[in-house]
Structure 1
Amino acid sequence: MEVLTCIEHQRIPVRATRAPGEFALTHAQAKLLDAADGVPADAFRWGHQCVRWRQFCGVVQLGGLTLEILPKIHGKESDPGACREVLVKMLRKAGLMKVHRGAGAGIQTQKHTLLDIFIQEFCLLVREQVLMGKPRDYQQREENLGVIKGKLLINQQLRQNLNHQERLYCQFDELTDDILLNQAVKFTLRLLLPKCRSDRSKKAVTELLMQHDDISDQRIDRQSLDRLTLDRANQRYADILAWCRLFIDAENPDVTAGKHSLLSILFDMNLLFERWLAASLRPLARKAGLSLREQAPRRYLAYREDVDRKVFQTRPDISLIDRNGKVHLIIDAKWKLLNGPDAKLGVSQADLYQLSSYANRYHIHQVALAYPSQAGLSEIYALQLLGSHSAKLDIHCIDLLKPTAHLQLSFKF
């Protein structure tokens, strides 16, 4: 299976035909992309005989071609392996990829495609839990036996064993690992096997399929997963179930009809950057005696008297709060391109209005905007907000290649 790697905002030509290895999509592949249910409408833009990806990164399978979209990392734009490594580190830090006890360190992000990395991550999680024993539960069964087990079903006994007095039709509970949770894992493994590109991924999936050989093959869909409830005995499978849902939901409905092999796993870099920044700042804030909250605390900007309701609720991306509950700093994270030569730096006026209203509503004197680092930009730009409530607005350009510890020096809390 061929992989086409591009960096976000990069233009991919669309042509009638393409040679193997050529950086382009065919019209047929572009049509599949346009029709894929799992691809957000704002993930890319069509141009004149081209497509340009925006702020979504991940993988999309278009028949025999896997399209890999990586974030644009300042200083590493020409190194896909480094961009891929940063994306995986962000996903891990944000808690979207979880392998326990450091097992994920063995996945070579520089050498494998994103899809193979996701597959290997899933396999590592499953292997960890299988070593502890697959989940089991009691399942009710009915069967003809030589001795009574459970209870004898009289009606079925008369119907089926009238001429076979040596048989007893019984209903009983049996402890088994052939349950829906294990069936979902096996179905996901079978789903992933033909999508593996590296020998390492194929080997990992094949070995796990062998370990699930005693599990029956069942077609698992979203409704099946919705029926799954985890208890204390199988809560350890929560992360695995989340991956199963991700892979199964990523399948284009056309696959079930046997038309196309489509799969899309895309991450909104706006949300990922926000979650990564919050996860990176949380331990640093704790050391400074502050707590970090996401999308909180929420307050209203206005009151409508005629209906006696407060309206326009605020949702700060990140807030740093002291032990007395006072907000000290609000940070909004934006995965956007800035414009260094512009006096406004390309900052959206709406974003500036939002931070200004936060400063006023929360009665704080420091707010911040965080962007990924880009060429030609300094680390920090200081603005003084004008008006009756004077506040300082710092614009931070975060270097994702630096250790997260440098963030405390940058934000100075």
Structure 2
Amino acid sequence: MILVHEHARLTSAPLQEEGMHQRCIPPSAFDWLCRQGRLLGSGGVSLVQMEDQRWLRLDGHVGLIETPCGTRIEILPKTVDGNEDPARSRATLLAMLQRCLDLPVRDLGEASLQTHTMPVSEWIMQQFLLALETLVQRGVRCDYRAEQDQLRHLRGRLLIAQQLRQPAGRAHLFQVEHQVFDADRPENRLIRSALDKVRGLTRDPGNWRLSHELAHVFHEVPASRDNTRDFQCWRDDRLMAHYRDIRPWVAMILGERNPLAMLGQWQGRSLLFPMQRVFERFVGWALRLHLPVGVRLREQAASQSLCRHEGGAMFQLQPDFLIDQSGFCWVGDAKWKRLDAGNRANKYGISQADLYQLFAYGQKYLGGQGRMSLIYPRTSSFDEALPLFNFDDAGVLSLEVIPLDLRTGELVGTRLVGRVVG
């Protein structure tokens, strides 16, 4: 397992000093990443950036990549300054994924987060297996289903039309339709498919053991032949309530529910999430946590455009968050980037393009007056809100730059809730 941070540099050449910011990988893995980068880049997805023939730089994705040669690269987020503890980075990522994906996780306490040592993909498989173990303890749901068969004795309903068409050599068989009570139903077929995939993917001894133990419970259930159709038939009534917790894990493992990953689905043994999208969803969770009832929060609003051309809108403006209540409107944008509040000479690390973007939002969504917010992750070098940025001398349109605590979801130094209520 090779541990690196997002945006780390990888090389196939020997290195005198390695760290989370740069690693040496086998030439076969290096060549495979280069090919994948070109392939995905042609589709508009940036996975790696080529620096030269011997160096490449990872983009802003986190998760696990496993190459065909067996090299496993775990990419962790950069959340604090200095030499970051991989277990803490992994715990922060898992907590963010759990909240922004609404995953029903049971053991995300502070103590357990600090001791996480398995990759994100293994953690997802572990949570699926734990949820499945609980489901088996509560009972696998069976149901009646109609089955057509040829029997030597009469059972159920005789199919008259098929019986009359029987050839003479098979006149001793009855064409019947009868009810069978077993576990062959859409929910269990999907669980069987996910379990088979986990058994083939996992490298963790505990996950391997538990997956094979649970496989004996579902060995008579066939795997799903049409995942999409079976998900549509998944029942959520009172009798199936104990299946609710496992459905998100089944959907993620089978590739039916991965709203963050631009790469689309779980490709082989690789699972990646774009960290910018993860942070945006996490900020949305934090806003919903603190806003009072009745306030409307829209994510990725797209009702305004930068200009009009030949009677139509052009250059759509899409802020991450738009809050409105009784005429009050607030625009917010989330950026996964570390700021340095003590480095004013370098503009704290804020991109000028981001301010241009917020200025356009303020003109189109707020009519040129009001307050907007840029939200960044809280770090030791950025632990309180910066002084206001005014876009005019009177301060009619202003911008606050505020940190978000990744552990608690608290927006530090903002009066957002007070303004909305007032």
Give the TM-score taking structure 1 as reference length.
Answer: 0.80
Structure 1 residue 155: deviation in Å? 3.7
| Secondary structure, counterpart of 1:366 in structure 2 | strand
1:32-43 correspondence runs (5 A)? 32-36=32-36, 41-43=45-47
Contact 2:158 / 2:174 at 8 angstroms: preserved in 1? no
Counterpart check, 1:227 vs 2:236: no
Q: Counterpart of 2:228 in structure 1: which amino acid?
A: D
Q: Counterpart of 1:348 in structure 2: which amino acid?
A: S
Q: Which residue of 2 aligns with 1:30?
A: 30
Q: Which residue of 1 aligns with 2:337?
A: 336
2:8 to 10, 16, 20: 10
Q: Which residue of 2 aligns with 1:283?
A: 289
Contact 1:150 / 1:172 at 8 angstroms: preserved in 2? yes
| Structure 1 residues 251 and 303: CA distance shift in structure 2, 3 A | closer
Structure 1 residue 266: deviation in Å? 0.9
Q: Counterpart of 1:334 in structure 2: which amino acid?
A: K
| Structure 1 residues 111 and 389: CA distance shift in structure 2, 3 A | closer
- For residues 78 and 215 of structure 2, what CA distance do their matches in structure 1 show? 36
| Secondary structure, counterpart of 1:386 in structure 2 | coil
| Secondary structure, counterpart of 1:45 in structure 2 | strand
Q: Deviations over 1:324-377 (max 9, x none)?
A: 1421x2110011354635443333333212211222221342111112245644
- For residues 154 and 232 of structure 1, what CA distance do their matches in structure 2 show? 37
Structure 1 residue 321: deviation in Å? 2.5
| Secondary structure, counterpart of 1:12 in structure 2 | strand
Contact 2:14 / 2:24 at 8 angstroms: preserved in 1? no
Q: CA RMSD in A?
A: 3.4
1:52 to 51, 57, 62: 57
| Structure 1 residues 115 and 247: CA distance shift in structure 2, 3 A | farther
- For residues 290 and 185 of structure 1, what CA distance do their matches in structure 2 show? 38
| Secondary structure, counterpart of 2:29 in structure 1 | helix
Contact 1:58 / 1:70 at 8 angstroms: preserved in 2? yes
| Secondary structure, counterpart of 1:172 in structure 2 | strand
Contact 2:11 / 2:23 at 8 angstroms: preserved in 1? yes
Q: Counterpart of 2:375 in structure 1: which amino acid?
A: A
Structure 1 residue 147: deviation in Å? 1.6
Contact 1:290 / 1:321 at 8 angstroms: preserved in 2? yes
Q: Which residue of 2 aligns with 1:144?
A: 150
Structure 1 residue 43: deviation in Å? 2.3
Q: Deviations over 1:248-270 (max 9, x none)?
A: 97454xxxxxxxxx422111111
- For residues 127 and 325 of structure 1, what CA distance do their matches in structure 2 show? 50
Contact 1:85 / 1:110 at 8 angstroms: preserved in 2? yes
Contact 1:93 / 1:280 at 8 angstroms: preserved in 2? no
Q: Counterpart of 1:43 in structure 2: which amino acid?
A: L
Contact 2:158 / 2:177 at 8 angstroms: preserved in 1? yes
Contact 1:116 / 1:196 at 8 angstroms: preserved in 2? yes
Show structure 2 runs of 5+ residues with no match.
258-263, 418-422
Q: Which residue of 2 aligns with 1:259?
A: none
Q: Which moved more, 1:27-36 or 1:241-250?
A: 241-250
| Structure 1 residues 283 and 80: CA distance shift in structure 2, 3 A | same
| Structure 1 residues 176 and 160: CA distance shift in structure 2, 3 A | farther
Q: Which residue of 1 aligns with 2:328?
A: 326
- For residues 185 and 152 of structure 1, what CA distance do their matches in structure 2 show? 33
Q: Which residue of 2 aligns with 1:256?
A: none
Show structure 1 runs of 5+ residues with no match.
253-261
Counterpart check, 1:295 vs 2:300: yes
Contact 2:403 / 2:412 at 8 angstroms: preserved in 1? no
Contact 1:368 / 1:395 at 8 angstroms: preserved in 2? yes
| Structure 1 residues 231 and 271: CA distance shift in structure 2, 3 A | same
Structure 1 residue 301: deviation in Å? 4.4
1:97-112 correspondence runs (5 A)? 97-99=103-105, 102-105=106-109, 110-112=116-118
Q: Deviations over 1:187-206 (max 9, x none)?
A: 22222224323322223322
Structure 1 residue 299: deviation in Å? 3.2
Contact 1:302 / 1:312 at 8 angstroms: preserved in 2? yes
| Structure 1 residues 353 and 155: CA distance shift in structure 2, 3 A | same
| Secondary structure, counterpart of 2:166 in structure 1 | helix
Counterpart check, 1:125 vs 2:131: yes
- For residues 182 and 361 of structure 2, what CA distance do their matches in structure 1 show? 56
Contact 1:282 / 1:291 at 8 angstroms: preserved in 2? no
- For residues 33 and 166 of structure 2, what CA distance do their matches in structure 1 show? 56
Q: Counterpart of 1:295 in structure 2: which amino acid?
A: Q
Structure 1 residue 303: deviation in Å? 4.3
Give the TM-score taking structure 2 as reference length.
Answer: 0.78
Structure 1 residue 226: deviation in Å? 2.2
Q: Counterpart of 1:331 in structure 2: which amino acid?
A: G
- Percent identical pairs in the alignment equals 22
- For residues 415 and 82 of structure 2, what CA distance do their matches in structure 1 show? 24
Q: Counterpart of 2:354 in structure 1: which amino acid?
A: D
| Structure 1 residues 176 and 240: CA distance shift in structure 2, 3 A | farther
| Structure 1 residues 169 and 378: CA distance shift in structure 2, 3 A | closer
Q: Which residue of 1 aligns with 2:271?
A: 265
Structure 1 residue 273: deviation in Å? 0.5
Structure 1 residue 386: deviation in Å? 2.5
- For residues 163 and 74 of structure 1, what CA distance do their matches in structure 2 show? 76
Aligned residues: 385
